[in-house]
A = this chain, B = another copy of it.
């Protein structure tokens, strides 16, 4: 399968992050990488326990050169990760389905990021600041609006972070470069774009009467 060639903007930071297959889809500039990370709220974190692979979907957010995720202080995943084990952080967006002339060329359009690094348990100060950023990243103004955590809630939460050193992105936004003999056929080809759409907000059925929907919910945009 071949795909329309686009220029590679920067060099991969390490051999492991250099795209081997469809290398022309590789992007190594932080602007592209950060945009892909920030456009999603759920990542997949890979790690190893007793030589076995684990992949856990979890909420993530980014502050400058670090990606963060959080969980219960009792979480099995976080207990392992706080030892500083290697992790593989990935984010994936599915942007469309590609219909090609040749069965061999069918594909999806996507944007993904893969980062390798070591998990790092955040200390209390970094944790509290990072969780405030996480809540405000859901919707700006949400932290000030919401009831702040109790000391017990703070204790129940751990935050892990990973530095974005060894990171690459892969962007497939085109159509396959089909063979001249396929282009000459009477077969249709093209794509069906996919987008994550948001519906109208749904109030909690337990909402007390007369409580107005805050502006940050009314104006909420998942895709900024």
- Chain A residues close to B by CB (< 8 Å): 1, 20-21, 40-42, 44-48, 51-57, 59, 71-72, 74-76, 86-90, 92, 94, 97, 99-104, 106-108, 110, 112, 114, 116, 131, 135, 138-139, 142-143, 145-150, 153, 156-157, 175, 178, 182-204, 206-208, 211-214, 217, 220, 222
Contacts and interface: CB of A to CB of B under 8 A. Distances in A.
Determine how many copies of this chain the complex contains.
Answer: 2
A128 B78 CA distance: 41
Contact of A94 (B101, B116, B196, B206): B196
A97 to B, nearest CB: 6
A202 to B, nearest CB: 5
Contacts of A53: 46-48, 53-54, 86-88
A107 B44 CA distance: 16
B92 A147 contact: no
Contacts of A116: 52
18 contacts: A20-B74, A41-B94, A52-B88, A55-B90, A59-B108, A103-B135, A103-B148, A104-B156, A175-B206, A183-B206, A187-B211, A188-B214, A189-B203, A191-B204, A192-B198, A193-B202, A194-B196, A195-B199
Contacts of A94: 40-42, 196
